[in-house]
Amino acid sequence: MSGHDSKYFSTTKKGEIPELKEELNSQYKDKRKDAVKKVIAAMTVGKDVSSLFTDVVNCMQTENLELKKLVYLYLINYAKSQPDLAILAVNTFVKDSQDPNPLIRALAVRTMGCIRVDKITEYLCDPLQRCLKDDDPYVRKTAAICVAKLFDINAELVEDRGFLDSLKDLISDNNPMVVANAVAALAEIQENSSRPIFEITGHTLSKLLTALNECTEWGQVFILDALSRYKAADAREAENIVERVTPRLQHANCAVVLSAVKMILQQMELITSTDVVRNLCKKMAPPLVTLLSAEPEIQYVALRNINLIVQRRPTILAHEIKVFFCKYNDPIYVKMEKLEIMIKLASDRNIDQVLLEFKEYATEVDVDFVRKAVRAIGRCAIKLERAAERCISVLLELIKIKVNYVVQEAIIVIKDIFRRYPNTYESIIATLCESLDTLDEPEAKASMIWIIGEYAERIDNADELLESFLESFPEEPAQVQLQLLTATVKLFLKKPTEGPQQMIQVVLNNATVETDNPDLRDRAYIYWRLLSTDPEAAKDVVLAEKPVITDDSNQLDPSLLDELLANIATLSSVYHKPPEAFVTRVKTTAQRIEEDDYPNGSEQGYSDATSHVVDGAASPPTSSSSSPYTATRQSAPPAAAPAPAPQVPDLLGDLMGLDNSGAIVPADQPAAPSSPPLPVLLPASTGQGLQISAQLTRRDGQIFYSLLFENNSQIPLDGFMIQFNKNTFGLAAAGPLQVPQLQPGTSAMSLLPMILFQNISAGPPSSLMQIAVKNNQQPVWYFNDKMAVNVLFTEDGRMERGSFLETWRSLPDSNEILKEFPGIVMSNPEATLDRLAASNMFFIAKRKHVNQDVFYFSAKIPQGVPILIELTTAVGNPGVKCAIKTPNPDMAPLFFEAVETLLKA
């Protein structure tokens, strides 16, 4: 059924546009249709035919569906350049949206949504409202998507006209396709809004799982992707969900399979029964393997995802390493990813076979693949101690083939193997030295030089070998120069004879006087000083024992891994980067609504700053074709108060991604009964009935955030999540917040384990902690807490008197800072000392001074920063003088706060 449309591309010589204009206004239908086709053809090849706008729009009122579609297409393309004329089309659109033919009704509303012109969108509302309730499912499914389109252009309009509710109603539609599109639209809207719009409750969950069985393959993907955000309440619910999703693993569509895998993995985090988990792993393996029979592009996506999956659940594919062996005809991008997974799955059991494969690959022709294969052998050696020797012998075999780049790559990895197993395999150095003169790549050269320097005492002619490099010192790349410098120093320290002595002169001279490279110069000067002042010290520094390396180069950080696993099948999982790192389409309209919700309050600067930053990051594309888009953005009111912005651009993104960290803490664990009530941080009046009280506490050497949630609103609240902004100590949640559904009038306690040094804020130290809490029913709440620094005091803070004195003396006087606590009375020193000791502030000594007592304490905060404290007071009388001496005097204000809190308690 081949067409002959290409004839429309050919044009006559004389003035094309006037001719088309004439034809468009012809009285003959066929001629008009041909003319429109010519216009579209011209548009396709990139000619500007926007000047024919009125003439084309005049052809819009036609009975001919094909012609109508062409005119609509023209409108989508040129309406934004002719916004005033586009209004001419509105009448026909509105009329078409009431046409008896559902195809035309859907076409009208679909096209109107694509025209991103404000004036048109106003007229879109009424037809859209009708179409959302149309009798024909084809029209409804089109209308559902159209709501998302409208939201993208004008979010307020969507909210004002209640389209969100109509869209939510469609989730209960009896037609599966309509349900799927409604889910896709809602998920998209949710993504671009900071308010909870699309919550998946237990009820919607079961409805969607039912629709899953009936809708098209693409619809199944929408639903599975949306549902993977759902957090089951407990293990039982998780198991139920998984049971209903597992049949999808049998679907022929790879995207359905991957999205089902994502959902199962998410729910598995909650499942406690090891049998069930094992069984699920077993079930997921075959479908994952089958993905490798798909088209190469899909294989690529699958492999990037499998890479993530085996990091979290290595057992799933532990026995399937063979399926990742490269086929001769695999595209290079597939081979590279397979190699990466083979390294991950390599074990003592299969290493022989894996090495055979790597060796095979290392003799192929594709240079990059070969290099990666050689590197893979090295990484296996580092990973598997028992196989290291076999790996090395394979590397030596490869070196013997004498293919230049193989040799160089092998030497680079052997250097790493030496770092991993020091003093174990030097017997091969002689073999390596044979290839010395063939090395021409900086990294390989640098590696070889490192080896020579490191084992200078075992290599008889180490000085000769290094000397051969010295001649070309000035021409070598920086990497090689640095290694050469260090290696020569090592040689000299190990063999302080005449030869090396001369060499070191040459090198130091070259590296200080003759170079412009500051790194090299600085390193050379340090060596020079060391060598001239104290050669023994130089030995201690230069020949110090090096920390052993491990192969973690390709292991992802656990929290990032969590986030990526929640994004299986998406670009995020392909890039191995969180979505914020590359998503550039950010909505500004949504932020406007958020601002309306927080009309005042001292924390305003915080949320404003959020929208402000997002605004800036949005950077709309500035090509002329997107002018209306730009206009929408500009119309967004500029964020108020330019507040000293704490940077929280991805606070919300993180909130969404947080839901699957591994740690599980029982939510109902009550706080110690004796402890005083927690301070209220979010009063019910601000939190629409939700009250949050919280405080940091320390228990058994671990920091917790003790939280109390009270629901005074009329609705049950669930899906609580928490996020901490950057702060001085980088305090952040170590796991997800575990709060059960809160019925109205009930409350729940939660102990959230915390970790330090996650997101450290720059700037002067501050005890301010900014927290965001979110649930499925309410907007995000932001509130502040003052960090009680004393919870950071570690258990090992006790100092011996001697070392206390020594530390005190070693710190300059400028590090001593004084503060008075006028209101505090110490009436019972013993009790106070006990209490302080319980909080890891340890008593060292006491002395009398005139009529006052002077107490000395020590404490320590993580990363070993000591704090020395001197308290001077007259027992029983108000007023305590506190002096603090610490290497970090700028933290002193925080410590004063801590000491004051402890004394008051």
Partner 1 sequence: MAGAASALFLLDIKGRVLIWRDYRGDVSSVQAERFFTKFIEKEDDPKSQDPVVYDSGVTYMFIQHNNVYLMAASRQNCNAASLLLFLHRLVDVFKYYFEELEEESLRDNFVVVYELLDEIMDFGFPQFTEAKILSEFIKTDAYKMEVTQRPPMAVTNAVSWRSEGIQYKKNEVFLDVVESVNILVNSNGQIIRSDVVGALKMRTYLSGMPECKLGLNDKVLLEAQGRTSKGKAIDLDDIKFHQCVRLARFENDRTISFIPPDGAFDLMTYRLSTQVKPLIWVEAQVEKHSRSRIEITVKARSQYKDRSTATNVEIELPVPSDATNPNVRTSMGSAAYAPENDALVWKIKSFPGNKEYMLRAEFSLPSITAEEPAPERKAPIRVKFEIPYFTVSGIQVRYLKIIEKSGYHALPWVRYITKAGEYELRLM
Only one of the segments 51-59, 253-261, 420-428, 818-826 lies at the binding site for partner 1 (rule: CB under 8 A); that segment is 253-261
Q: How far is the CB of 780 from partner 1 (least distance, A)?
A: 18
Contact of 386 with 423, CB cutoff 8 Å: no
Q: Which residues contact 582 (CB under 8 A, 6 or more apart)?
A: 571, 572, 575
Q: Which residues contact 482 (CB under 8 A, 6 or more apart)?
A: 446, 519, 520, 523
Residue 116 in the binding site for partner 1 (CB under 8 A): yes
Identify the residue among 77, 129, 784, 888 touching partner 1 (CB under 8 A). Answer: 77
Only one of the segments 76-84, 413-421, 452-460, 881-889 lies at the binding site for partner 1 (rule: CB under 8 A); that segment is 76-84
- Distance (Å, rounded) from C-alpha 399 to C-alpha 435? 8
Identify the residue among 623, 714, 814, 851 touching partner 1 (CB under 8 A). Answer: 623
Query: What are the residues facing 692 on neighbouring strands?
Result: 682, 709
Nearest to 379 by CA among 412, 403, 352, 338: 412
The alpha-helical segments, DSSP class H, found in 313-441 are 332-345, 351-361, 367-383, 388-401, 404-420, 429-434
**Alpha-carbon distances of 250 from 53, 243, 296, 575, 901, rounded to whole Å:** 51, 13, 20, 27, 61
Identify the residue among 195, 277, 629, 753 touching partner 1 (CB under 8 A). Answer: 629
> Which pairs count as long-range contacts for 557-565, CB under 8 Å and 24+ apart, including other chains?
558/661, 558/662, 559/661, 561/308, 561/311, 561/312, 562/657, 562/658, 562/660, 562/661, 562/662, 563/657, 563/658, 564/308, 565/262, 565/265, 565/266, 565/308, 565/309, 565/312, 565/660
Q: How far is the CB of 580 from partner 1 (least distance, A)?
A: 9
Give one DSSP letter per residue of 806-819, joined into a string.
Answer: HHHHHS-GGGEEEE
For the purposes of burial, counting CB atoms within 10 Å of the CB of 608, is it exposed (0-12), middle (13-18) or buried (19 or more)?
buried
Rank residues 43 and 861 by Cβ distance to partner 1 and give the closer one: 43
Identify the residue among 39, 113, 449, 507 touching partner 1 (CB under 8 A). Answer: 113
Question: Restricting to residues 323-382, which ones interact with partner 1 according to CB under 8 A?
Answer: 323, 325, 327-329, 331-333, 336, 353, 356-357, 360, 363-366, 368-370
Rank residues 244 and 881 by Cβ distance to partner 1 and give the closer one: 244
The string over 4-32, giving b where at least 16 C-beta atoms fall within 10 Å of a residue's C-beta and e elsewhere, is: eeeebeeeeeeeeeeebbebbeeeeeeeb
Rank residues 478 and 571 by Cβ distance to partner 1 and give the closer one: 571
Nearest to 771 by CA among 903, 670, 664, 655: 655
Question: Restricting to residues 570-599, which ones interact with partner 1 according to CB under 8 A?
Answer: 570-575, 579, 582-585
Q: Which residues contact 616 (CB under 8 A, 6 or more apart)?
A: none
Only one of the segments 112-120, 547-555, 815-823, 831-839 lies at the binding site for partner 1 (rule: CB under 8 A); that segment is 112-120
Q: How far is the CB of 779 from partner 1 (least distance, A)?
A: 20
Question: Restricting to residues 23-62, which ones interact with partner 1 according to CB under 8 A?
Answer: 37, 40-41, 44, 46
Identify the residue among 9, 28, 525, 757 touching partner 1 (CB under 8 A). Answer: 9
Q: Which two tokens stand for residue 279?
A: 């069984």
Quote the radius of gyration of the chain (alpha carbons, Å): 35
Identify the residue among 177, 342, 382, 707 touching partner 1 (CB under 8 A). Answer: 177
Q: Which residues contact 475 (CB under 8 A, 6 or more apart)?
A: none
Rank residues 179 and 452 by Cβ distance to partner 1 and give the closer one: 179
**Alpha-carbon distances of 360 from 355, 365, 367, rounded to whole Å:** 8, 11, 13
| Binding string, residues 130-169; x marks residues near partner 1 by CB under 8 A | ------xxx--xx--xx-xx--x-----------------
- Distance (Å, rounded) from C-alpha 486 to C-alpha 443? 15
* 3 state SS of 875: coil
Give one DSSP letter per residue of 619-634, joined into a string.
Answer: ----SGGGHHHHHHHH
Q: How far is the CB of 328 from partner 1 (least distance, A)?
A: 5
Residue type at 529 in one-letter notation? R
Rank residues 279 and 570 by Cβ distance to partner 1 and give the closer one: 570
Q: How far is the CB of 81 from partner 1 (least distance, A)?
A: 12
Rank residues 338 and 523 by Cβ distance to partner 1 and give the closer one: 338
Within 10 angstroms of residue 742's Cβ, the number of other Cβ atoms is 22
**Alpha-carbon distances of 553 from 343, 382, 478, 544, rounded to whole Å:** 12, 11, 23, 24
Identify the residue among 20, 42, 49, 70 touching partner 1 (CB under 8 A). Answer: 70
Only one of the segments 496-504, 508-516, 616-624, 740-748 lies at the binding site for partner 1 (rule: CB under 8 A); that segment is 616-624
Question: Restricting to residues 425-484, which ones interact with partner 1 according to CB under 8 A?
Answer: none
Question: Restricting to residues 401-420, which ones interact with partner 1 according to CB under 8 A?
Answer: 403-404
Contact of 369 with 333, CB cutoff 8 Å: no
Rank residues 300 and 425 by Cβ distance to partner 1 and give the closer one: 300
Q: How far is the CB of 782 from partner 1 (least distance, A)?
A: 24
Identify the residue among 57, 258, 531, 787 touching partner 1 (CB under 8 A). Answer: 258
Residue 424 in the binding site for partner 1 (CB under 8 A): no
The alpha-helical segments, DSSP class H, found in 659-766 are none
Only one of the segments 245-253, 819-827, 874-882, 884-892 lies at the binding site for partner 1 (rule: CB under 8 A); that segment is 245-253
Q: What is the DSSP letter of 636?
A: S
Q: How far is the CB of 558 from partner 1 (least distance, A)?
A: 20
| Binding string, residues 89-108; x marks residues near partner 1 by CB under 8 A | ------------xxx--x--
Nearest to 380 by CA among 554, 547, 548, 546: 554
Question: Restricting to residues 287-306, which ones interact with partner 1 according to CB under 8 A?
Answer: 287, 289-290, 293-298, 300-302, 305
Count of residues in contact with partner 1, rule CB under 8 A: 135
Question: Restricting to residues 486-545, which ones interact with partner 1 according to CB under 8 A?
Answer: none
Element (H, E) at 182: helix 176-191
Identify the residue among 97, 121, 567, 591 touching partner 1 (CB under 8 A). Answer: 567
Q: How far is the CB of 26 from partner 1 (least distance, A)?
A: 17
Question: Restricting to residues 709-748, which ones interact with partner 1 according to CB under 8 A?
Answer: none
Only one of the segments 472-480, 565-573, 690-698, 888-896 lies at the binding site for partner 1 (rule: CB under 8 A); that segment is 565-573
Query: What are the residues facing 752 on neighbouring strands?
Result: 705
Element (H, E) at 723: strand 721-724
- Distance (Å, rounded) from C-alpha 774 to C-alpha 781? 6
- Distance (Å, rounded) from C-alpha 859 to C-alpha 869? 8
Rank residues 331 and 876 by Cβ distance to partner 1 and give the closer one: 331
Q: How far is the CB of 268 from partner 1 (least distance, A)?
A: 18
Only one of the segments 109-117, 388-396, 467-475, 492-500 lies at the binding site for partner 1 (rule: CB under 8 A); that segment is 109-117
Residue 647 in the binding site for partner 1 (CB under 8 A): no
Identify the residue among 57, 73, 341, 769 touching partner 1 (CB under 8 A). Answer: 73
DSSP E strand boundaries for 121-237: none
Rank residues 63 and 475 by Cβ distance to partner 1 and give the closer one: 63
